Structure 1
Amino acid sequence: MVDRHSAPGIPEPARWVATRSAPTGTRVDGIPLSRQETVDAAVWQALLDTADKAVVVHDGRRLVRVVSRRAAELFPDLRPGVELAGVAGFTGSEQNEVETTCQGVPWRWIPTRLDEDHVAWQGDSAEPAEPWCEKCAQARFLVNSSRLLGSSLRRDQTLRSIVQLAVPTLADCCAVVLPAKRGRVEWWRYSRGGDTEHGRMGQHVLRSVTSLAEAFSGSATKPLPGQPVPGARLDWLLEPDFGDPGSVVVVPLRHEGLDAGALVLASNDSRDEQLDIVRDYAGRAAAALSSAHSFSEQARATEALESSLLPSPLPEVPGIVWSACYRPAHSGIRVGGDFYDVYPDSDGRALFLLGDVCGNGVEAATLAGRIRHTVEALRPVETEPTKLLHRPRPPVLYGTNSGLSLANCMLSTGA
C-alpha cells in the first residue's frame, strides 16, 4: 500500500475559474485568496484512490512519483521512488500504449503527458469483465505469457520476463538457474516487491535446494518439490526478509538447444494445485529462452563475419590525407559489395585498391572479402599494380558465384 505521507505531491492545479462575465479559462480578479489556494497533495492522492482505473505518474527520469490505490493493489512493485523499467511489465522506453498482464488478465496502459517532466499512465483491463473462472484465468495467463515471452529475442530481456511474469501468479519469488562458463552457474531472480537481480555463483548453489541439481542436470522431466537446505546460501533465491518459504517447486528447463537449467518457484503458501500450469509455463519459458539463445548465437556469428569483412583503418602515408565513409546499401548488415584497401610500402609509397561487386548483401560482401584477401596475399610476390590487378584467376575469386561480377581499380602513389 502506498504511504501517502511520503508520496511526492502532484503538480499544483491551475488556479483558473470561470464566470458568466468572463470566458472559460480566464483568470478573474477579485476572487478571495481562499478560493484560489491549491489543494493539498493528500487530497489529490485520495481522489486518485477512488478511480476505477489504475494510475501511475513518473517523472522525466522514469522514476515513479504517484501511484493510485488500485495500481498498488494489482502491482505491488509500483511504489514511489522505484524505476518504471522492469515493473508491471514496463520496459522503461514506452512512448505509446502498453499491454501487460496481471493474474492472467491483459492490461492496457494509456499515457498522458502532464507537463515536460511528468507522464501519467492509466491502466485498465483489456478484456471485458466476465465471471471468474480459475481455468480460464490460467489459460489467459499462459496465452499472455507466451506473447510477452516471444516479444523479444534478446537473451537478457527474455530471462527478465521469465522471472517477472511468474510473480505473483505462480509464486512470490521466481529464479532461473543456467549453466555458465568455467564451472559456474548464472541466476536471475525476481521477488514480489523487489527488483530483478542477476549474478553468477559456483556450482555449490545447486546443493542449496533439494531436487535442484537433479532438475538442472536433466535427469528429471517434471516439477519436483524442493526445500532449502539448512545452512545453505540462499541469497540467489530469496530476499533477506522473505522468511521460510511455504513451498518450493523446481522445474527443469528443457528445449532444443537448451540442455541444462531450472526454474525455481518459492511461495509463502502451498500451491500444489498449480503444478500443471507451472509445468506448462516452464515449457513456454524454455522455448522462448532457446529461441533467444539461438538468435544471440547467430547475431554473434554475423557480427564476427561482418567484422572480418569491414574495411581496415586507413594508414598514414606521407604527403596524403585519407578520408573514407562506408555506407552499405542494406541497413540489416554492416557490409556490402563496395570495398577499398590501402597497402603502404616501406619506401613511402602506397597502393590503393577500390572495387565494387555488382550486387549487395552477404554474397557480395563475401566476394569482396575474397578479393581483398587475395590481393593482400599476392602483394609480397607482385608489386606492379597492373599485373597484380589481373593476376587472380576468376575461378579462385568467384567460386560458385558465377552470377556476380565486379569492377575494380588500383592506384599507386609515388614517393
Structure 2
Amino acid sequence: MVDGGGLALAANERARLLFPPGPLPEWLGAAHAAGAATAAGLVGQRSFEGHAAPHGNGCVTWWLVEDTELRQAREALRIERTRAEFLSEASTALLGSLNLERCMEVAARLAAEHLADAALVISPAQRSRHPVTRCARGERPVHAQLEFEPDELPGLGEALQGFPPVPSRWIDPAAAPDWLVPPDFGELGAIVVTPLPGHGVPAGALVLLRRAEQPVFSEDEEIFARLFASRSGAAMSAARVFAQQASITETLMRDLLPPPLEHVAGVEFAGGYRPSQDSEHVGGDFYDVHPGSDGESLAVLGDVCGKGLEAALLTGKIRNTLHALLPMAGDHHRVLSLLNGALLSSHSTRFVTLVLASASRDGAGVRLRLTAAGHLPPLVVRANGQVEEAETAGTLVGVLPEITTTTAELTLGPGETCLLYTDGITEARGGPLGGELFGEERLRRALTECGGMPAEAVVERVQMLATQWIGRNSHDDMAVLAITAPRGQHLTAVGGHGRGRYTA
C-alpha cells in the first residue's frame, strides 16, 4: 500500500521478500506518480505486472503478479517468428539463382547481416584450393581461391566432410588463422563452424565470426545457424549439380549441333536447321559434310524418326557410324547397308531416312552421285530456274534386314544447286488459314527464283519462306543442305565461307 507521495505504508510477506526497504522500483514509482492503473517492469531477472486498487484517502494498493514465464514465452515466440520469416526469405534468395558463386555470395551476406559480424562460406577444395566467399556486415561479399589446411581451424576439416559441428566454446578465437578474419575486423571474440549439408555429398562449411565486444554465441544461436546452413547447403548443392549438368550438356551438344559449312574442294556447301521446339537446340534432323582425300566430299542429310533429345541421341550415333564408314564412301549402297545393320543390331525402335551426296569438281561444274534411302529425292535448280527431281530412291534404314537403293548421277553447271531437305519443310502447316501444307509444289516454285544464287542464299530463301508460312504454329524439325557449283566470282552474305545457319 502506497500513499499519495509514493511512500510504502504496508506490504504483505511476499512483497517484503521481493522489495528491499526503501523507495519503490523506478517503473512502479513512475506509474504510481502518473496515476496509472497498471504497471510492468523487472525486479532482478523476474518480470511483474502491477494492478492498482485506489483508496478514497489517496492511497493505492498495488497487486503484483509475476509474468516472467509468460513474457519469456512471448519473446521466444517473437524470436521464432522472426527467424522463420528470415529462413523463408533466405530460402527464396538462395534459390533465386542456380549459379554457385552467386549462392555463396547470398549465403555469406545473409549470415553476416543476421547471424554474426562476419561470415565465410567455404566450398570443398578444387585442385588443393578452396573457393571462399567472405563478407563482413555492411560490406560486399568477396570471392577468393585460398590454399590452406582445414585443420588450422578446429572443426573446419570435419565440417567440410559433413560431420556434425563442434561447439563454439571449444574454438579459441586467439588461435584463428590469419586468412579467416576480414581486414580491419578488430579483435575476434567467438567463432562458429558448421557444415553445409548437400544432396548426398557435403556442400562446404559456414564459419560465423563475432567481435570481442559482442556476446558469445549461445547454444540456441548455434542451432539456428545450423538451420540456416542446411538451406544454404541445399541451394549450393543444387547450383553445383546444375553447373555439372550444364557442362555435360554443353559438351554433348557440341557434337549434336549442325557443323559449320564452307567451300570444300571447289564445291560450295550451306546448311540450315531449325528444331521442332524453339526451346531446344537439337532434334532428329541433321546434316554433315565430310571432305574426301580424293577430292570427292560426302554430304549427308537425314531425318530420324521422332523429335527432341531422344531423336538427337540416335542422330549422334548415326553421324558417328557414318563417319566411321567414310573409307567406303564411294559405294553408297554398302555404306547404307552397313548402317542399316548397325541400327538393327542396336535393337532401336527408331528408323532414319537419308540422302547421301558425293560431290567433286568436274571442270567448271560439280559432279554429283545422289542416293536416297526412304527420303525425299533432292531437287536440282538449274541456272535458268528450272527445277528437276533427282531420280534416286531407296528403302528406310533401320527397319528391314536388307535395303534397296538407286543412285542418280548428274552434273551441276556453274550457279546450279542441288537442294537436300527434310519433310519438316514440305509438311510445315500454316498459310492464311493456318492448316495448309507448305508442300513440294510451293517449294519448287520458290526454287525457280533461286537459279544462279549461291548456296547460302538458297538456304536462307527456303528457311525464310518456311518460317513465314508456319508463323506461330507448331512444326517438325526442319533441315536443308545446298550443294552449289560456284559461278565465278560472286558476293555472298558471308564471303563464300560461312557457318551452316542455325535458326532458333
TM-score (normalised: structure 2)? 0.52
Correspondent of 1:337 among 284, 298, 302: 284
| Superposition deviation, residue 350 in structure 1 | 0.9
CA contact (8 A) 1:317 1:349 kept: no
- 1:211 aligns to what? 155
- 1:180 aligns to what? 125
Deviations 1:219-245 (A, max 9, x none): 4346544344548322xx432111112
| Superposition deviation, residue 294 in structure 1 | 1.7
- 2:258 aligns to what? 311
Correspondent of 1:365 among 308, 312, 315: 312
Deviations 1:295-343 (A, max 9, x none): 2222222222212222333354132222233332234442211111111
CA contact (8 A) 1:312 1:341 kept: yes
For residues 397 and 244 of structure 1, the distance between their equivalents in structure 2, rounded to whole angstroms, comes to 73
- 2:182 aligns to what? 239
Correspondent of 1:282 among 205, 229, 236: 229
CA contact (8 A) 1:177 1:262 kept: yes
- Distance of aligned partners of 1:238 and 1:327 in 2 relative to their CA distance in 1, 3 Å threshold: farther
Matched, 1:190 2:135: yes
CA contact (8 A) 2:113 2:138 kept: no
Deviations 1:245-268 (A, max 9, x none): 222111112232333621001122
CA contact (8 A) 1:190 1:197 kept: yes
For residues 159 and 352 of structure 1, the distance between their equivalents in structure 2, rounded to whole angstroms, comes to 49
Letter in 1 for 2:158: E
Deviations 1:78-136 (A, max 9, x none): xxxxxxxxxxxxxxxxxxxxxxxxxxxxxxxxxxxxxxxxxxxxxxxxxxxxx992221
Larger radius of gyration: 2
For residues 279 and 168 of structure 2, the distance between their equivalents in structure 1, rounded to whole angstroms, comes to 44
Matched, 1:145 2:145: no
Deviations 1:157-216 (A, max 9, x none): 211111122121111211111222222222111111222111112233x24433322322
For residues 176 and 281 of structure 1, the distance between their equivalents in structure 2, rounded to whole angstroms, comes to 12
- 1:380 aligns to what? 327
- Distance of aligned partners of 1:170 and 1:134 in 2 relative to their CA distance in 1, 3 Å threshold: same
- 2:471 aligns to what? none
Q: Which one is further off, 306-315 or 213-222?
A: 213-222
2:143 is paired with a residue of what secondary structure?
Answer: strand
CA contact (8 A) 2:203 2:236 kept: no
- 1:301 aligns to what? 248
Give % identity: 36
- 1:124 aligns to what? none
CA contact (8 A) 1:209 1:227 kept: no
Deviations 1:261-304 (A, max 9, x none): 21001122223241221111111111111222222222222222
Letter in 1 for 2:199: E
| Superposition deviation, residue 365 in structure 1 | 0.5
CA contact (8 A) 2:173 2:189 kept: no
TM-score (normalised: structure 1)? 0.62
CA contact (8 A) 2:173 2:190 kept: no
- 2:294 aligns to what? 347
- 2:31 aligns to what? none
Question: Where do 5+ consecutive residues of structure 1 fail to align?
Answer: 1-130
> What is the aligned residue count?
282
The equivalences for 1:3-402 within 5 A come to: 133-204=78-149, 206-221=150-165, 224-225=168-169, 226-228=171-173, 230=175, 232-234=177-179, 237-259=180-202, 261-268=204-211, 269=214, 270-272=216-218, 273-314=220-261, 316-394=263-341, 396=343, 399-402=346-349
| Structure with greater helix percent | 2
For residues 212 and 363 of structure 1, the distance between their equivalents in structure 2, rounded to whole angstroms, comes to 44
- Distance of aligned partners of 1:313 and 1:368 in 2 relative to their CA distance in 1, 3 Å threshold: same
Q: Aligned Cα RMSD in Å?
A: 2.6
For residues 80 and 278 of structure 2, the distance between their equivalents in structure 1, rounded to whole angstroms, comes to 46
- Distance of aligned partners of 1:414 and 1:216 in 2 relative to their CA distance in 1, 3 Å threshold: closer
